Structure 1
Amino acid sequence: MRTRFAPSPNGPLHLGHAYAAIVAHDTAKARDGEFILRIEDIDGERNRPEFVEEFFRDLAWLGLEWDGEAVFQSHRLASHASAGEQLKAMGLLYPCTCTRAEIAAAATQVGPDGPVYPGTCRHREVDPENAAWRLDVTKAMTLTGPLEWRDEGAGSQAATPQIFGDVVLLRKDLPASYHLAVTLDDATDGVTLVTRGMDLFPASHVHRLLQALLGLPVPTWLHHPLLIEKDGRKLAKRRGAPSLADRRRAGEDGRAVAMALREGRFPAGLSLSQGVHQAP
């Protein structure tokens, strides 16, 4: 079996990342499997290459070792583009130029990521040169039929990607969306158990659909609790959660930090979210 930790170099790692990495690492080692490190570095100008070396140092400081060399998502842009062309050839993608404000104004439903796209561009002429490409989810589900996927905590799930509406798979500013890139890369990396936070539980419905459309292997998922602040929000780079690098440079014992996370001992004001996210 194989797990992975896949951070994006758009900010430093914090304790929430450490917890996610430890879950993936320890699960693989407990099952005599492999733990790989993938750098998801296709986030355009937000990428900061200097963070990558910091990631390596942070994980070593925690006492985590990955198998083989780290892999970089940016080296796989051609495979992302090829999958996009395959879906276009199947008649499943359409161009869209709607802004977020336009979507919010027209939406009648709210999904896991906010207002659900109402399909405005699905049947109208759009210049594909300046457009994102969306997946016609209803048409795709008609092609695949009912799908299921399994989470080790929540059990068998009927795939309901419709909760997102027609998701963007090819972005205007980037070669691929998170949904498409991570699904393709997990297959390329031979990941058999996808461990990630329960905030991404709904995304697995979309990823299961993409696996069926593209003929990819289907892993099992393990959505773990999140490390949260006193107000119930998960730790986030954008809100200035203390970084692992700062703790490392201050002389903290990284292996002791990792052991505390394993044992459920967190700094004051932090705790784990409880329960397993269930599909809507």
Structure 2
Amino acid sequence: MVVTRFAPSPNGPLHLGHAYSAIVAHDLARASGGLFLLRIEDIDGARSRPELAEEFREDLAWLGLSWEEVPAQSSRVDEYEVAAATLAAMGLLYPCKCTRAEIAAAATRTGPDGPVYPCTCKADLPRPDEAVAWRLDVAAAMARCGPLTWHDELAGEQQARPDLAGDVVLVRKDAETPASYHLAVTLDDAADGITLVTRGADLFAATHIHRLLQELLGLTVPRWHHHALLLDEEGRKLAKRRNSPSLADRRMAGEDGAALAQQLRMGQMPGGITLSQSLDIAP
């Protein structure tokens, strides 16, 4: 049975890109008689706004989708801490005091998410009183696991290349945000029994790290489906930070949500929005 999920963060309203992603996950599950789950990813510190979770539910119902809801991330902090402690006990985490500006200035190469961390703190350990993040020693982790593969429904079999992203942060400096996206989403998907991870092609490269974490922590390995992205008039993906028009505004204006969902399924994008023609999966 296919189990998919839609996992929004309540740090801003949903837009058409979210609608498309939710519809893809919903329809793939329903086509197989499977389950479509909703998970609220609410550990983004002060940016998380609890009232938006109810707005998300109203948006999904307005689109004509049905779902089962699983526990929000905020209920799983203990699980993240246990996993981080497990990795630390394996000798695979190290502390890092570097800021983003310092990393950008010192980086010698760029990865999928920008400047790759140059492992500064491996040679210059932070003082005990300094606030630190905890990074995964990717080279040591890969040596421990050996070659890994994963499967994308659109792109096919992939060789895992977590080294492309470098030593990513798994535990953040900010105590209000207890785990990074990489650690939290990997644990959540395993806990929720997700068999097909559906998400945008912009997260394709993150899957290399997630596959490594699954192997290290003995988690089940799903399949992935990285769908194309909705782009604005300037060819940029829709994003909360760019104030892309919200689903709530469309809903409040009386637009027919079910009709909009059907348009998105058919690739009929409204208002100058286009669907990306490439998954942009090359490293």
What residue in structure 1 maps to residue 126 of structure 2? 126
1:160-239 alignment runs, 5 A limit = 160-173=161-174, 174-239=177-242
Checking the alignment, whether the CA contact within 8 Å between 1:193 and 1:221 is kept in structure 2 is: yes
3-state SS of paired residue (1:39): coil
Checking the alignment, whether the CA contact within 8 Å between 1:153 and 1:276 is kept in structure 2 is: no
Amino acid at match of 2:20: Y
What residue in structure 2 maps to residue 102 of structure 1? 102
1:81-100 alignment runs, 5 A limit = 81-100=81-100
Checking the alignment, whether the CA contact within 8 Å between 1:95 and 1:127 is kept in structure 2 is: no
Amino acid at match of 2:156: G
Please state how far the C-alpha of 1:128 moved relative to its aligned partner. Answer: 5.3
Amino acid at match of 2:275: L
What residue in structure 2 maps to residue 252 of structure 1? 255
Amino acid at match of 1:24: A
What residue in structure 1 maps to residue 30 of structure 2? 29
Paired positions, count: 279
Deviations 1:39-83 (A, max 9, x none): 00000010011101100100000000002x342011000000000
**Identity within the alignment, %:** 67
Q: Distance in 2 between matches of 1:63 and 1:239?
A: 26
Q: Distance in 1 between matches of 2:147 and 2:123?
A: 25
Amino acid at match of 1:59: L
Please state how far the C-alpha of 1:276 moved relative to its aligned partner. Answer: 2.7
Amino acid at match of 1:176: A
Checking the alignment, whether the CA contact within 8 Å between 1:97 and 1:126 is kept in structure 2 is: yes
Report the TM-score, using the length of structure 1 for normalisation.
0.98
Q: Distance in 2 between matches of 1:103 and 1:64?
A: 42
Q: Distance in 2 between matches of 1:163 and 1:80?
A: 24
Checking the alignment, whether the CA contact within 8 Å between 2:11 and 2:44 is kept in structure 1 is: yes
Please state how far the C-alpha of 1:258 moved relative to its aligned partner. Answer: 0.4
What residue in structure 1 maps to residue 19 of structure 2? 18
Q: Distance in 1 between matches of 2:76 and 2:201?
A: 26
What residue in structure 2 maps to residue 46 of structure 1? 47
3-state SS of paired residue (1:121): helix
What residue in structure 1 maps to residue 66 of structure 2? 65
Checking the alignment, whether the CA contact within 8 Å between 1:96 and 1:132 is kept in structure 2 is: yes
Please state how far the C-alpha of 1:266 moved relative to its aligned partner. Answer: 1.1
Report the TM-score, using the length of structure 2 for normalisation.
0.97
Structure 1 segments (4+ residues) deviating >3 Å: none
Q: Distance in 2 between matches of 1:71 and 1:245?
A: 23
Greater shift in the superposed pair: 268-277 or 104-113: 268-277
Amino acid at match of 1:31: S
Checking the alignment, whether the CA contact within 8 Å between 1:201 and 1:279 is kept in structure 2 is: no
Deviations 1:141-162 (A, max 9, x none): 0000000000000000000011
Q: Distance in 2 between matches of 1:276 and 1:266?
A: 18
RMSD between superposed Cα atoms in Å: 0.9
What residue in structure 1 maps to residue 76 of structure 2? 76
Q: Distance in 2 between matches of 1:209 and 1:169?
A: 13
Amino acid at match of 1:115: P
Deviations 1:92-115 (A, max 9, x none): 000000011111111000011110
3-state SS of paired residue (2:86): helix
Amino acid at match of 2:269: F
What residue in structure 2 maps to residue 113 of structure 1? 113
What residue in structure 2 maps to residue 8 of structure 1? 9
Please state how far the C-alpha of 1:19 moved relative to its aligned partner. Answer: 0.2
- Mark the CA change 1:59 to 1:128 in structure 2 (over 3 Å): closer, same or farther: farther
Checking the alignment, whether the CA contact within 8 Å between 2:96 and 2:125 is kept in structure 1 is: no
Please state how far the C-alpha of 1:124 moved relative to its aligned partner. Answer: 2.7
Checking the alignment, whether the CA contact within 8 Å between 2:70 and 2:192 is kept in structure 1 is: no
